[in-house]
Structure 1
Amino acid sequence: MQQFKDYTGSVYGGLGHLLYTYSQAKGLVISEKLEQVQNLERFDFSLLRDLLTDMQQHIHMPALGLDIAEHVQPKHLGIIAYIALSCNTLGEALQRYYDFHRLVYDGSALQVNMLGDYLAIGWGNMPFHITTQVTHELAIALMLQFMKYFMNCEDIQVHEVHFVHPAPKNTVLYEQYFRCRVRFSQPVAQIILPVHELAKSFCQGDQTLQNLLMQQAQSLLDKLPHSTQLDQRLQQAILIGIQKNQYQIEPISQQLNMSVRQLQRHLQQQGTTYQQRMQEVRHLLAEQYLKDPHLSLQEIALLLSYSEQSAFQRAFKQWTGFTPQQWRQQQYL
């Protein structure tokens, strides 16, 4: 692929869906450009910038990026959201965000720096003329809004927020939103957090993940003639375990306060094995993820804890008789 001088990288397709959702909520006319990105796995950052600029010209709203971020849902951020939902603390979630941030936006490396008792997270390599105030608003607000969405009632305390573009007319809106000092015309767009915030635990992270995924996995329990509370707990443990790549029978049985032998005996009485139950969950999760047109096969393989995409493809063909790509294409016929 040819690289142009001002190539700005690509963004996750779910951000296009977020803009669509926001436009509908605000009663805006859906442009042809916005329609065209709805089923793309990724699209150029420059197109996201242009969509935001067009939106700004039509709606004339100050701090537009902050308002759009209020509508974010896990599906708009894709794999990072699914992974973050299995984390226990803010620090763990931020570490995973750092590991996989290029899946949301691959044009600029995420910079994480320690500043004494503070942690600065920002984007410093984007040329000034390629970005806008709204693109930086959206980037920072999306990260903060998503983290706050899954925290306990006690919100994340932000120390400062920096933007590279000049201050707009009404800076009070920004200070009210972030509830901290907001600086403009800074060298780097970044959010600065006290280090002690990293130890904060997420609000029922496992429960949130369960609610997202159990909609599909519940059908497995419905097939069991005598579903028990243990089966439901096992289902949840496998779901969470797959997200964390800790789905082997040993850690799962420990979560259930059982020995491996006790769990195997329980499943034997139902005419199944742990391996079969785990693969059934993987199968249903795979179909759930494949219905999201923005997730690539590589990302889905990672979400299902496969070390290689080819291993996921072989397993899926054994389950359904189709390759993942063939199955996905059938959904849009």
Structure 2
Amino acid sequence: MQTSQQHTMTASAVRPLLRFIEQHDISLSDALHGSDLSESTLNTDRLTINSFDQVINNISRICQQEDIGFIAGQGLEIQSFNLLAFLLSSCKTGRDALVTLRRYYILLSDTPAPEIFITKEEVKVLYYLSPGNELAMRARAELIATGINTLGRSFGGKAYHPLKIGFKHDKPSYHKNLEEYFGIDIHYNQNQCWISFSSEHIDKPLTETNPNFLHALRSQAEMLIPDYQHLKSCSTKVRHVLQQWPNQHTANKESVAELLNTSPRTLTRRLREENTQFSHLLREVRMEKAQARLESHSINMQELAQELGFADRRGFERAFKQWSKLTPSAYHKQWKNSATESQDLTLVY
């Protein structure tokens, strides 16, 4: 029986929650209770939306606060989104930034990308929420709206003017806080979540709207994704990008070529000169990711297969065995036995 795919999101979204936990002296174990997260897994690139929802529910229950998503959204920093920040740093106008955001939305979440409508008067962004309980969905809705607003302010500066916001949920008890923060009309019980802002300066150069932020973003991008001069071969550069890319099955040659500031055709030619192909490198990185995930005490093979982009468990098992000469289950068992032996040796000494 095939299980439904669990949507994932960038782990950067949980960082404001961690700061909130620290500020309110909440135990990390209490905040993570019931989720599949641990202190070590918080440093990964992705987490399931179900886990994020559980953390939201825990913090809300402990603090007796329902506006956790709104609070977390205010703490989001565009610079912390790594590859997406790098891509946004090369945008020339607000329109470019919106196109890039939608095209690479997978870097934020593997839920459907938002729909963006641009008219002479306004830009309207309609965004999707994956299912969850009422509190968690409301938190995510407010977090996304706040994040989009932060992005607009960061790039647009004084040229950014929000117009209206729509939420699917009922008006919360803290609605005045939302209205004060956004400073615009907020509509509740909508068919879909959305936010709109003026399109007057959508094609104005970002170097004019908020040059200080753009300079800071580009400076950080140079540190996050260097010019790869220290990497000798093209295949090494591609692997370097793929290793940082969430959900390797969504990465494609065009996206990686853009990150490496080259064309897909040139990338193909350079890889051929090194006797390899993009698809081979992608498969290797996927298997290395699988290997790392299998080296944990608790693992769901079906979920791992879906996470890595395989249609079913059998396809994943076949690919992994071809790569490592062992089935995923056999590799996992071998690792557990090795880990147990190491622990026993530690206890003896």
TM class by shorter chain equals 0.5 to 0.7
Superposed, which structure 2 residues align to 1:60-71 within 5 Å?
A: 60-71=64-75
Cα shift at 1:111? 1.8
Distance 2:162 2:94 in 1: 13
Distance 1:313 1:52 in 2: 48
TM-superposition CA deviations, 1:92-145 (whole Å, max 9, x none): 111100111122111233122356732211224645757521111111111221
- Letter of the structure 2 residue corresponding to residue 37 of structure 1: T
Match of 2:229 in 1: 280
Cα shift at 1:59? 2.5
- Residue identity over aligned pairs, in percent, reads 13
Structure 1's unaligned 5+ residue stretches are 218-238, 240-277, 318-322
1:141 equivalent in alignment to 2:146: yes
Distance 2:57 2:119 in 1: 34
Distance 1:312 1:34 in 2: 38
Cα shift at 1:155? 5.7
- Does the C-alpha gap of structure 1 residues 46 and 197 become closer, same or farther in structure 2, counting only changes over 3 Å? farther
Within the candidate set 24, 27, 36, 2:25 is matched to 27
Deviates more, 1:113-122 or 1:157-166: 113-122
- Does the C-alpha gap of structure 1 residues 41 and 195 become closer, same or farther in structure 2, counting only changes over 3 Å? same
Match of 1:211 in 2: 219
Cα shift at 1:69? 2.1
Tell me if structure 2 keeps the 8 A contact 1:9–1:108.
no
- Does the C-alpha gap of structure 1 residues 16 and 303 become closer, same or farther in structure 2, counting only changes over 3 Å? farther
- Does the C-alpha gap of structure 1 residues 126 and 213 become closer, same or farther in structure 2, counting only changes over 3 Å? closer
- Letter of the structure 2 residue corresponding to residue 16 of structure 1: V
Tell me if structure 2 keeps the 8 A contact 1:109–1:125.
no
Distance 2:87 2:160 in 1: 19
Provide the aligned length of Structure 1 versus Structure 2: 261
Distance 2:260 2:63 in 1: 41
Match of 2:172 in 1: 168
3-state DSSP class of the match of 2:124?
Answer: strand
1:49 equivalent in alignment to 2:53: yes
1:303 equivalent in alignment to 2:259: yes
Match of 1:195 in 2: 199
- Letter of the structure 2 residue corresponding to residue 144 of structure 1: N
- Letter of the structure 2 residue corresponding to residue 106 of structure 1: D
Distance 2:246 2:272 in 1: 15
- Letter of the structure 2 residue corresponding to residue 11 of structure 1: M
Tell me if structure 2 keeps the 8 A contact 1:158–1:180.
yes
- Does the C-alpha gap of structure 1 residues 326 and 46 become closer, same or farther in structure 2, counting only changes over 3 Å? closer
Distance 1:43 1:115 in 2: 35
Distance 1:112 1:118 in 2: 10
Distance 2:203 2:82 in 1: 24
Distance 1:105 1:128 in 2: 15
Distance 1:82 1:296 in 2: 18
Distance 1:213 1:64 in 2: 29
- Letter of the structure 2 residue corresponding to residue 9 of structure 1: H
- Does the C-alpha gap of structure 1 residues 36 and 72 become closer, same or farther in structure 2, counting only changes over 3 Å? same
Match of 1:118 in 2: 122
Tell me if structure 2 keeps the 8 A contact 1:9–1:45.
yes
1:77 equivalent in alignment to 2:70: no
- Does the C-alpha gap of structure 1 residues 197 and 37 become closer, same or farther in structure 2, counting only changes over 3 Å? farther
Distance 2:66 2:268 in 1: 44
3-state DSSP class of the match of 1:280?
Answer: coil
Alignment TM-score, normalising by the size of structure 1 = 0.63
Distance 1:309 1:12 in 2: 29
3-state DSSP class of the match of 1:23?
Answer: helix
- Does the C-alpha gap of structure 1 residues 97 and 313 become closer, same or farther in structure 2, counting only changes over 3 Å? farther
Distance 1:313 1:73 in 2: 39
Cα shift at 1:81? 1.9
Distance 2:268 2:23 in 1: 37
Tell me if structure 2 keeps the 8 A contact 1:158–1:194.
yes
Tell me if structure 1 keeps the 8 A contact 2:6–2:48.
yes
- Does the C-alpha gap of structure 1 residues 26 and 327 become closer, same or farther in structure 2, counting only changes over 3 Å? farther
Tell me if structure 1 keeps the 8 A contact 2:129–2:140.
no
- Letter of the structure 2 residue corresponding to residue 55 of structure 1: I
Within the candidate set 188, 194, 214, 1:184 is matched to 188
Tell me if structure 1 keeps the 8 A contact 2:70–2:146.
yes
TM-superposition CA deviations, 1:133-167 (whole Å, max 9, x none): 11111111112213323443x16211101111110
Distance 1:175 1:312 in 2: 53
